Amino acid sequence: MRYKKRKSISGFAGDTIQYTVMFLPMLILFLVFSTYPVIEGVIYSFTDWDGLNSNVNFIGLRNYKTFFHDFVVLKPLWNTFVYAFWVTIIQNVCALALALALNQKFRTRNLLRTLIFIPVVLSALIVGYLWSYIFTEPMAILGGRLGIDVMKYNMLGNKATALGAGIFVSVWKGVGYTMVIYLAGLQNINQEIQDAALVDGVKGFQRFRYITFPLIAPSFTINIVLVMEGAFKQFDLIFALTGGGPGNASELLSLTIYRESFEYYRAGYGATMGVILALIIIVLSLFELLVLRKREDNIE
């Protein structure tokens, strides 16, 4: 008995060492390239660092006080909330509709799934530059021939439509990823439940509302949080598409952080904006998770 006990203990120790050795490289990479930069960013938010010199002075909460009294930041902050709200809503609605359509059995569904997912794997910069050309030439020509006033001129150069155009391109690029998550949820639904609903005469929108949608609640929760977080952090797509213009009509807070840090050489203030943006994302994500998890529990 003592031999077996000693052997089991040694076996447990061996497994622990093996798992630690396998996990350690990933942990080191995470700490070096993720955790350490976050900590450094928080530290620099309390300084007047210009991003170039090694001379760094601690200034306490001055950057945070400046942020809450900086009227220049209000427009990008408002744009960020508007952008994130509409991208989250439109992308989820479109992705769910596509998932429902492509969950049906027909010949070309796999081809259509692939075509819709292709924009996801494209570089955001390439997508931004591609659509900036489309809005400049082909879209304007098409709008002129169709007689649509909004499309006759470059929508990216119009203060009233620039942010909306950015929302459209963002949804076009990301809808495939969101669709795949909804498809996974739909394919996990027990077919017997659907068949029983048909027997009971539940069809069309009623079946979606009372059966399908409640059963894909986890997919809905994941997509709402992921899309919202991605929209708040969006930078490269809008940077390539409009550069925040015209004026600051489509400028998001992420672009303002970039300008403050690398154009105006106020990296300390830029770090402060980054910390505030991170806190906004964390608070909204936790709120969404709390509300949507409660909804899942009520369904169960």
Q: For 233-250, how does the pLDDT look when each residue is reduced to its tens digit (9 = 90+)?
A: 999 999 999 999 898 999
Model confidence, pTM: 0.89
Q: For residue 246, say if its preceding peptide bond is cis, omega within 30 degrees of 0.
A: yes
Is the distance from CB of 133 to CB of 87 less than 8 angstroms? no
Task: Provide the residue range defining the domain that includes 132.
Answer: 66-299
Where helices occur in the chain by DSSP H, the ranges are 2-30, 36-44, 62-67, 74-102, 109-121, 124-136, 138-146, 149-152, 162-187, 191-199, 204-207, 213-215, 217-232, 236-241, 253-258, 267-299
Q: Which helix (H) or strand (E) holds 252?
A: none
pLDDT at 2 over 60: no
In a domain, 87, yes or no: yes
> CATH no. for residue 143?
1.10.3720.10
pLDDT at 7 over 70: no
Rounded Cα–Cα distance for residues 272 and 279 (Å): 11
In a domain, 115, yes or no: yes
Instruction: State the pLDDT at residue 212.
Output: 85
pLDDT digits (tens, 9 = 90+) for 270-287: 999 999 999 999 999 999
The sign of the torsion formed by the CA atoms of 85, 88, 94, 97 equals negative
Instruction: State the pLDDT at residue 11.
Output: 58
Q: What is the mean predicted confidence (pLDDT) over 169-195?
A: 90
Instruction: State the pLDDT at residue 137.
Output: 83
Percent of the residues in the chain that have a pLDDT greater than 90, as a whole number: 64
Closest CA to 139 of 122, 115, 156: 156
In a domain, 48, yes or no: no
In a domain, 58, yes or no: no
Which amino acid belongs to residue 163?
L
